[in-house]
Amino acid sequence: MSRFAELLDRFFYRPDEAVGAFLELAPETEALPEAAPEELPEEFLAFELAGETYAVPIATVREIQKVGDVTEVPRAAPNLIGLINVRGEMLPLYDVKRRLDLADAVPVVRSRKDVGRGARVVLVKDPEGDAGILVDRVQGVVKLNLSRLESAPQLGVERDAVAGLSRKDGHLYILLDLEQALS
Amino acid sequence: MATERALDEFVTEANEILDQLAKDLFVLDQERGREPDPERLNAIFRGAHSLKGLSAMFGVDRISRLAHRAEDVLDALRLGKVPLDDRLIDTLIETLDMLQALLARVSQGTSAPDIEAGADHLQDRLGDLAKGRANAAEDLLDQVGLDPAMRSVFTEYEEHRLRENVKKGVGLWKVRAVYSLEDFDAQLAALNARLKPLGEVVSTLPSSQPGDEASIAFDLVFGSARPRADLEKALEGATLAPLTSRPAPEVTKVGRPLPPETSSPAPRPAPKWDETSASGFSPFPESPGSALRLAPDASLRSLTQTVRVDIARLDGLMNSIGELLLIRSNINRLAESARQVGTGVALPKLWGQELQREARALERKLDELQKGVLDVRMVPLGQVFDKLTRLMRRLVRESGKDVDFEVSGGDVELDKLIVEELSDPLMHLLRNSLDHGIEPPEVRRLHHKPTRGKIRLKAREQGNQVIIEVGDDGGGMDEARIRQVAVERGLVTEAQAQELSRRDLLNLVFLPGFSTRADVSEMSGRGVGLDVVKTNLQRLSGLIDIDSRRGDGTTFTLTLPLTLAIIRALMVSVSGRTYAVPLSSVMEIVSVRHADLKTIERREVFEVRGQTLPFVRLGRVFRLPEQPRERSYVVIIGLAQQRIGLAVDELLGQEDIVTKPLSGRLRAVPGVSGATELGDRRAVLVLDVGALMEELLRPQAAAS
């Protein structure tokens, strides 16, 4: 009779069926992964801007691109170089040099021809919408210890786009505060 | 808390449940006073039940608790323990609104302290309702000559249905059916289908007297008002035996089914909900006990970005892709044969013809694919109209006015994006019609109009556009007042106001700052946030127009493109830069010699067929370097009644473009609505004609 019982079971509608089984599932979906221990060095992308070496956390970097066509956007923010097409997605390309006082003006870039050979677009993730920043050269990925972070010295210039400094193997890495740098 | 993705899924699913609940409750609401369809009650119960389970699973405790209480009430209702009265329906509708509000908060990731209290209150009220009154009626089931073994396996729900059937006084039958083991499920389903039109199958149980080895017997308890002969015809082999053995009590003489408390002769304990209503809660949502008032700016937009797609449409897409793959392999074959021929040797003519044929096929299929994808984006306007209908029913009740709300054209399909964006502007216009359009009954009587006002919401397709009309038969707009207010606010000068045509005058109400909420009531006019409506529509490349007759009412006409995804655009060039102008807002294109330009108050104007229009150099607006020219092409763009000539250097032709929104950081760029890529993958800006016109016309009015 067990086969019939099964068939019959499927046949009858039971409006009073319990929800208990679902409830038991609930706590599992809420479990959160433990936060990683703090000591590990973090990975950063290092790049050059006017001869200085800057770095941003690798987790904030979406991809690195060669410079292609850039479309000028009239009446936009002064630090905007233009609009770039990343596989159908229209993203803004920003200049950060002027913000960091490394240049007097935002460069006019319309295509590959307007930039140096090493120049790249670093696409960064941002809650306000992903954006590209134009860099002179990409150095690579470095591991930096966040616990040994120096704050930037007072140099008489506004440096609020700098999150801190880090030294490794004799190199100085300036950590860029992306949010400030893009504003 | 669940991860964001899981949360999205939860919101999508919960939303679907709530939408269905809303539909069912709406029917229940409309059929007030009639006996509810048990299937519908079941569906509502199941909805609340699923929502409870779902929200508990995702740890959304707030919703789960409220849904749980609602489920209790619905269960009691389903089992006939509590009667379905107005109070209960109102509370259920309120609960639905509350659940929707809570879900909206969940999807925004915000907590809801402001509605929390309301939810608690509602929860208590539901709890009270669920307790209801004990059903002290003498158990009617005892009158039924039912085998005790059979009765003991009845679910509570089945008992309730049986009781209802006894109350209706219909004949109760026991149907015994013996079917072969091989196909009993099909046979039983067929029997059910035959019996259903004749009455109600209360219960289906495997018989306590089993059949032989190769068959299985069922006992069906069946209630029907039809004579025995009718039933026997439908049985086809099953046997029929009457169930009621004892004389029916007097309640069965009641011809029309009645809710239990009226037919129950037994005294019942004081119902719990009477106590609560005595302590100040009235059964209508506008009472102070109402848990959730509709905020004036509450949005009707749905919380999710998903589209439900008919599987047939997806199959269509799949087919197109299949054919594209076929074409690809043909082209591959042609390429291969060209390679083998080698360099320097002319390809056979046949090869060229074949390649051309494939290219044409490719083009056709791509068109098909594009159309198919657009189709998938299309949803019926009814999705929004349904929500608006519910909202209007409530607003009408709250307003105390006597208004008929007519809706038509809900089956017209539009791009999902547009349908979503439309809900708020339409809500605005409808509220406007109700609040300011329809006069109070006394005034209407005075003007020899029917006291019952009328508000219409109509949609129809017209070519590549959809026209939506929101109209009322109210008092209409007062032109003199509009003129006066516009002058007072400095939107136009006295002289300008006198010269404006009727239509232009009416359109002044769309100007920002035309009216502020505070003084709308004193000027008895319209225009509450109409500038917002206009801005919303402009974002959708839509047009809005007003027609209003003093005393006869006002009609707003919205013209919208069928889809936003792919639009036809005119490509223009200015100082070497390329821009796309949506063709839907291009009225005409003329060529103008700069020598023919005139100025008015030092602003350049030109004449086209006797009409003088502003001549606006796009290059200057965008602060681009300018080269001296002798003539320009002028693209005449229009929105509502306004026209502007946009001067550009070159016309580069028309293109079908897919407008991509600009990322968050660039959203505020004036005059640009998005970007699109051209064949060379360069990004090209798409002009926001509405915003441009707004910008170009406003300083003019203010300056004068």
Q: What is the pLDDT of residues A54-82, one digit of tens each?
A: 999 999 999 999 999 999 999 988 899 99
**What pLDDT score was predicted for residue A49?**
93
The verdict on A132 touching B (C-beta cutoff 8 Å) is no
Closest CA to A181 of A79, A105, A82, A91: A79
A90/B58 Cβ within 8 A: no
The verdict on A25 touching B (C-beta cutoff 8 Å) is yes
Minimum CA–CA partner of B68 in chain A: A19
Print burial letters for B174-196: b (CB count within 10 Å at least 16), e (below 16).
Answer: bbbbbbeeeebeebbeebeeebe
Minimum CA–CA partner of A17 in chain B: B49
The verdict on B685 touching A (C-beta cutoff 8 Å) is yes
On the 0-12 / 13-18 / 19+ scale of CB atoms within 10 A, B290 is: buried
| DSSP labels, B136-173 | -S--GGGGB---HHHHHT--HHHHHHHHHHHHHT-EEE
Q: What is the tens place of the pLDDT at every residue in B679-695?
A: 778 899 999 887 888 78
B59/A90 Cβ within 8 A: no
Confidence grade of residue B380 (pLDDT, cut at 50, 70, 90): confident
Of B463-467, B562-566, B655-659, the one with minimum mean pLDDT is B562-566
Confidence grade of residue B285 (pLDDT, cut at 50, 70, 90): very low
Chain A hits for B77, CB-CB cut-off 8 Å, are: none
| DSSP labels, B422-473 | HHHHHHHHHHHIIIIISPPHHHHHHTT--SSEEEEEEEEEETTEEEEEEEE-
Q: Mean per-residue pLDDT for B312-329?
A: 88
Which helix (H) or strand (E) segment holds residue B520: the answer is helix B517-520
A111-114 CB contacts, 8 Å cutoff, 24+ apart: A111/A67, A111/A68, A111/A69, A111/A70, A112/A66, A112/A67, A112/A68, A114/A67
Q: What is the rounded distance in angstroms from the CA atom of residue A67 to the CA atom of residue B369?
A: 32
**What pLDDT score was predicted for residue B689?**
85
Higher-pLDDT residue of B641, B619: B619
**What pLDDT score was predicted for residue A155?**
63
The end-to-end CA distance of chain B, in Å, is: 58
Q: Mean per-residue pLDDT for B84-93?
A: 81
Residue corresponding to tokens 């020219």: B629
On the 0-12 / 13-18 / 19+ scale of CB atoms within 10 A, B593 is: exposed
> What residue type is B323 in one-letter code?
E
Q: How many CB pairs under 8 A join A and B?
A: 112
* Mean pLDDT, rounded, of chain B: 77
A93 pLDDT above the threshold of 90: yes
Confidence grade of residue A123 (pLDDT, cut at 50, 70, 90): very high
Of B2, B53, B660, the CB nearest to A89: B660
Q: How far is CA B478 from CA A61, B472, B512, B545, in A?
A: 59, 15, 19, 16
Indicate the DSSP class of residue B91.
Answer: H
Could you say which residues from 140 to 159 on chain B have a Cβ atom under 8 Å away from some Cβ of chain A?
Answer: 155-157
**In degrees, to the nearest 5, what angle opens at C-alpha B48 toward C-alphas B310 and B153?**
105
**Residue B294: which residues within 8 A CB-CB, separation 6 or more?**
B97, B391, B394, B395
Of B78, B185, B682, the CB nearest to A7: B185
Asked whether B119 and B105 are in contact (CB, 8 A), the reply is no
B625 HSE (CA, 13 A, CB side): 3
Of A9-18, B318-327, B611-620, the one with minimum mean pLDDT is A9-18
Of A108-112, A130-134, B147-151, the one with minimum mean pLDDT is B147-151
Confidence grade of residue B149 (pLDDT, cut at 50, 70, 90): low
Q: How far is CA B335 from CA B119, B339, B345, B346, B349, in A?
A: 68, 6, 15, 14, 14
B665/A129 Cβ within 8 A: yes
Q: What is the tens place of the pLDDT at every residue in B13-68?
A: 888 888 888 888 888 887 777 777 878 888 888 888 888 888 877 778 888 888 88
The verdict on A90 touching B (C-beta cutoff 8 Å) is yes
Confidence grade of residue B304 (pLDDT, cut at 50, 70, 90): low
Residue corresponding to tokens 């929104």: B661
Closest CA to B37 of B75, B87, B84, B73: B84
Higher-pLDDT residue of A155, B123: B123
pTM for the model: 0.48
Q: Report the gap between the CA of B353 and the closest CA in chain A (Å).
A: 33
B273 pLDDT above the threshold of 50: no
Q: What is the rounded distance in angstroms from the CA atom of residue B65 to the CA atom of residue B55?
A: 9
The verdict on B56 touching A (C-beta cutoff 8 Å) is yes
Q: Provide the 3-class DSSP secondary structure of residue A66.
A: strand
Indicate the DSSP class of residue B510.
Answer: G
Confidence grade of residue B209 (pLDDT, cut at 50, 70, 90): low
Asked whether B474 and B439 are in contact (CB, 8 A), the reply is yes
Rg (CA), chain A: 26
Q: Mean per-residue pLDDT for B198-211?
A: 74
Chain A hits for B681, CB-CB cut-off 8 Å, are: 68-69, 85
Q: How far does CA B440 lie from the centroid of its chain?
A: 29
Q: Report the gap between the CA of B184 and the closest CA in chain A (Å).
A: 10
Chain B hits for A72, CB-CB cut-off 8 Å, are: 577
Which helix (H) or strand (E) segment holds residue B377: the answer is helix B349-377
Ramachandran angles phi, psi of B408, nearest 5°: -145, 160
**What pLDDT score was predicted for residue B256?**
42
Of A157-171, B120-134, B553-567, the one with minimum mean pLDDT is B120-134
Q: Helix crossing, B38-57 with B61-78: angle to 10°?
A: 160
Chain A hits for B58, CB-CB cut-off 8 Å, are: 26, 29
A74/B624 Cβ within 8 A: yes
A141 pLDDT above the threshold of 50: yes
Q: What is the rounded distance in angstroms from the CA atom of residue B585 to the CA atom of residue B638?
A: 6
Of B2, B58, B683, the CB nearest to A83: B683
Q: Report the gap between the CA of B294 and the closest CA in chain A (Å).
A: 31
The verdict on A129 touching B (C-beta cutoff 8 Å) is yes
Task: Please count the other Cβ atoms lying within 10 Å of the Cβ belonging to residue A81.
Answer: 26
Q: What is the rounded distance in angstroms from the CA atom of residue B516 to the CA atom of residue B523?
A: 11
Positive or negative, the CA dihedral B497, B501, B507, B509 is: positive
**What pLDDT score was predicted for residue B248?**
40
* Interface-testing mutation among A19, A65, A178, with chain B (most B C-beta atoms within 10 A): A19
The verdict on A16 touching B (C-beta cutoff 8 Å) is yes
Chain B hits for A29, CB-CB cut-off 8 Å, are: 2, 6, 57-59
Of B59, B157, B622, the CB nearest to A75: B622
B46/A75 Cβ within 8 A: no
> What residue type is B340 in one-letter code?
Q
Asked whether B547 and B461 are in contact (CB, 8 A), the reply is no
**What pLDDT score was predicted for residue B606?**
93
The verdict on A19 touching B (C-beta cutoff 8 Å) is yes
Chain A hits for B685, CB-CB cut-off 8 Å, are: 71, 73, 83
Minimum CA–CA partner of A94 in chain B: B665
B622/A84 Cβ within 8 A: no
Asked whether B287 and B281 are in contact (CB, 8 A), the reply is yes
**What pLDDT score was predicted for residue B673?**
84
Asked whether A178 and A129 are in contact (CB, 8 A), the reply is no
Minimum CA–CA partner of B181 in chain A: A4
Minimum CA–CA partner of B46 in chain A: A15
Higher-pLDDT residue of B374, B5: B374
A73/B666 Cβ within 8 A: yes
**What pLDDT score was predicted for residue B262?**
39
Of A23, A26, A71, the CB nearest to B684: A71
Q: Report the gap between the CA of B686 and the closest CA in chain A (Å).
A: 11
Q: What is the tens place of the pLDDT at every residue in B351-369?
A: 888 899 999 999 888 888 8
A83/B624 Cβ within 8 A: no
The verdict on B42 touching A (C-beta cutoff 8 Å) is yes
**What pLDDT score was predicted for residue A142?**
92
Q: How far is CA B448 from CA A1, A96, B131, B436, B551, in A?
A: 77, 71, 51, 19, 10
Confidence grade of residue B636 (pLDDT, cut at 50, 70, 90): very high
Which helix (H) or strand (E) segment holds residue B203: the answer is strand B199-206
Q: What is the rounded distance in angstroms from the CA atom of residue B479 to the CA atom of residue B477?
A: 6
The verdict on B216 touching A (C-beta cutoff 8 Å) is yes
Task: Please count the other Cβ atoms lying within 10 Å of the Cβ belonging to residue A165.
Answer: 17
Confidence grade of residue A14 (pLDDT, cut at 50, 70, 90): low
The verdict on A73 touching B (C-beta cutoff 8 Å) is yes
B1/A74 Cβ within 8 A: no
Rg (CA), chain B: 34
**What pLDDT score was predicted for residue A9?**
64
Confidence grade of residue B222 (pLDDT, cut at 50, 70, 90): confident
